[in-house]
Structure 1
Amino acid sequence: MISPAEDGVERIEARFQGNGFSPHRHDTYAIGLTMNGVQTFSYRGEQRASLPGQVIVIHPDEVHDGGAGTEEGLRYRMLYVAPEQISDVLSGVGRPGLPFVPSPVISDNRFRTELAEALTDIDRELGTLKRDCLIADLADCLWGHSDHQGPSGTALSWPDLKRCAEFLKENCTDSVRMEQLEGLAQMDRFTLSRQFRAVFGTSPHRYLVMRRLGRAKAELGAGAPLVEAAVASGFADQSHMTRHFKRAFGMTPGQWRHLSAASATQ
């Protein structure tokens, strides 16, 4: 089941047996709860396991997979939140950059309660008030479990970085050059790349690719053929889109469309 996307927040429920997802990475925080069964996954070179009631935190751009650890199978719910929303909350209270949580499996009653409320009735929209409160609470929980190591050196240039992100969103189907971003940010490409990752959790190029994938998902959801969705989203061809899609979501565009269509009929 996939919930309606709401301004930087997406929620899903998944059930499966055996291996669920191949190794992939996305540019959001993935924060979830194991509902039934044992969830196993590889993360930062180690095999991990989550039991019912434990919170899972996957940092943006970290490769991971997923599967059921027992024969009874697995049911879990996951929330994906854009890292810039977390950065925005924390910067307002003097905590710049993204919090990195060293342990991807956490036992924390408050964290679990906040997350469980957001993951209830995922077929319904959160609404702006609940969503904004949720992001603030999640940012606080992430900071509480993080290593508290913010970016070093020059302070982050928020307006310039946001301008670059908006430019990438608006021009995601075009060929964007680093020189264009350097001009917008008024900083060299190396400083820009470091500061961009501190706020958005990934590189400018990968941020652009993920915006293209978001466009592709919208095209596929509207019924566009795979080849047309690829071209409309800025990819060279269908195979180009499929490679990036599987790396980001752990499934092919066709598999995603099937899952999305099944959710819409429930």
Structure 2
Amino acid sequence: MSQQQSADWVRLAQSPSRTERIEAFFGGHGYEPHRHDTYAIGQTIAGVQSFHYRGGLQHSLPGGTMVLHPDEIHDGEAGTEAGFHYRMVYIEPALIQKILGGRPLPFIPDGLSADPRLRRAAQPLLKAVTDTFEPLEEEDALYDLAQTLAVVGGQRSRRQAFDYQAAERAREYIHACFMQDMTLDTLSQVSGRDRWSLSRDFRTLYGTSRGATS
């Protein structure tokens, strides 16, 4: 995309998903002050994205990650004449809470992070809005992002008990039915373990996600 582009545009992901995703370009003013009841997590693809947040003026550049906490007022505009191109994903705080198992919601000061761990964790959920998720891909990405948000936000990890038998039931099911599309709900029913505990068990016991198990 040329940075000389002047026509504003916004595209929404149309495929079924547990999140809402957008991709947009604004040549100047982007949007008025508003708030979301979700996390708004995004990355600037090109240009400078400037926004007022928690009493300060912030500037999002390519290479960083924006993390806007639920119910925080923010706006948006181009920081240069070249405009800005960005992608955002909107995630219900209750979903993050379920993954973290009762820990406080993560908070990133100033709404910006240069931590490469957070950038890597957010990227799978910030693919082009025309792209779709493979089975279990979005669930794995949400788990990784929630855990990384907690770490980058300064929370100490808590050691939690795992259920080897439940994880083995799920792993054996994946091997037996690898040609079929499967959901995390299905694996949860097969294993008798809730979805996010099962995600933790797989990483603890096998060092990989469910979808990558071989």
Identify the TM-score tier after normalising by the shorter chain: 0.5 to 0.7
Name the SS of the counterpart of 1:117 in structure 2.
helix
**Residues 147 and 111 (structure 1 numbering): CA distance in 2 closer, same or farther, change over 3 Å?**
closer
Matches within 5 A, 1:144-159: 144-148=151-155
Distance in 2 separating the partners of 1:31 and 1:128? 22
On the 8 A contact 1:32/1:76 being kept in 2, the answer is: yes
Matches within 5 A, 1:193-232: none
What amino acid is the match of 2:64?
A: Q
Name the SS of the counterpart of 1:47 in structure 2.
strand
Which of residues 6, 30, 42 is equivalent to 2:52? 42
Is 1:27 the equivalent of 2:34?
A: no
Q: Which residue of 1 aligns with 2:28?
A: 18
Q: Which residue of 1 aligns with 2:117?
A: 110
Q: Which runs of 5+ in 2 are unaligned?
A: 1-10, 157-214
What amino acid is the match of 2:34?
A: H
Which of residues 79, 85, 92 is equivalent to 1:75? 85
**Residues 85 and 141 (structure 1 numbering): CA distance in 2 closer, same or farther, change over 3 Å?**
same
Q: Which residue of 2 aligns with 1:63?
A: 73
Q: What is the CA distance between 1:110 and its match in structure 2?
A: 2.3
Q: What is the CA distance between 1:125 and its match in structure 2?
A: 2.5
Distance in 2 separating the partners of 1:63 and 1:83? 16
Q: Which residue of 2 aligns with 1:141?
A: 148
Moved over 3 A (4+): 5-8
Q: How does the TM-score come out when normalised to structure 2?
A: 0.64
Q: What is the CA distance between 1:114 and its match in structure 2?
A: 2.6
Q: Which residue of 1 aligns with 2:138?
A: 131
**Residues 25 and 128 (structure 1 numbering): CA distance in 2 closer, same or farther, change over 3 Å?**
farther
What amino acid is the match of 1:103?
A: D
Q: How does the TM-score come out when normalised to structure 1?
A: 0.52
Q: What is the CA distance between 1:5 and its match in structure 2?
A: 5.9
Q: What is the CA distance between 1:15 and its match in structure 2?
A: 0.1
Name the SS of the counterpart of 2:58 in structure 1.
strand
Matches within 5 A, 1:182-197: none
State the superposition RMSD in angstroms.
1.8
Q: What is the CA distance between 1:112 and its match in structure 2?
A: 1.3
Q: Which residue of 2 aligns with 1:187?
A: none
Q: What is the CA distance between 1:106 and its match in structure 2?
A: 0.8
**Residues 140 and 48 (structure 1 numbering): CA distance in 2 closer, same or farther, change over 3 Å?**
same
Distance in 2 separating the partners of 1:6 and 1:111? 25
**Residues 128 and 30 (structure 1 numbering): CA distance in 2 closer, same or farther, change over 3 Å?**
farther
Q: For this pair of structures, how many residues does the alignment match?
A: 146
What amino acid is the match of 2:118?
A: F
On the 8 A contact 1:29/1:81 being kept in 2, the answer is: yes
What amino acid is the match of 1:15?
A: F
On the 8 A contact 1:31/1:80 being kept in 2, the answer is: yes
Distance in 1 separating the partners of 2:51 and 2:19? 23
Q: Which residue of 2 aligns with 1:221?
A: none
Distance in 2 separating the partners of 1:79 and 1:34? 12
Name the SS of the counterpart of 1:4 in structure 2.
coil
On the 8 A contact 2:25/2:83 being kept in 1, the answer is: yes
Structure with bigger helix share is 1
Q: Which runs of 5+ in 1 are unaligned?
A: 150-266
On the 8 A contact 1:34/1:76 being kept in 2, the answer is: yes
Distance in 2 separating the partners of 1:90 and 1:14? 30
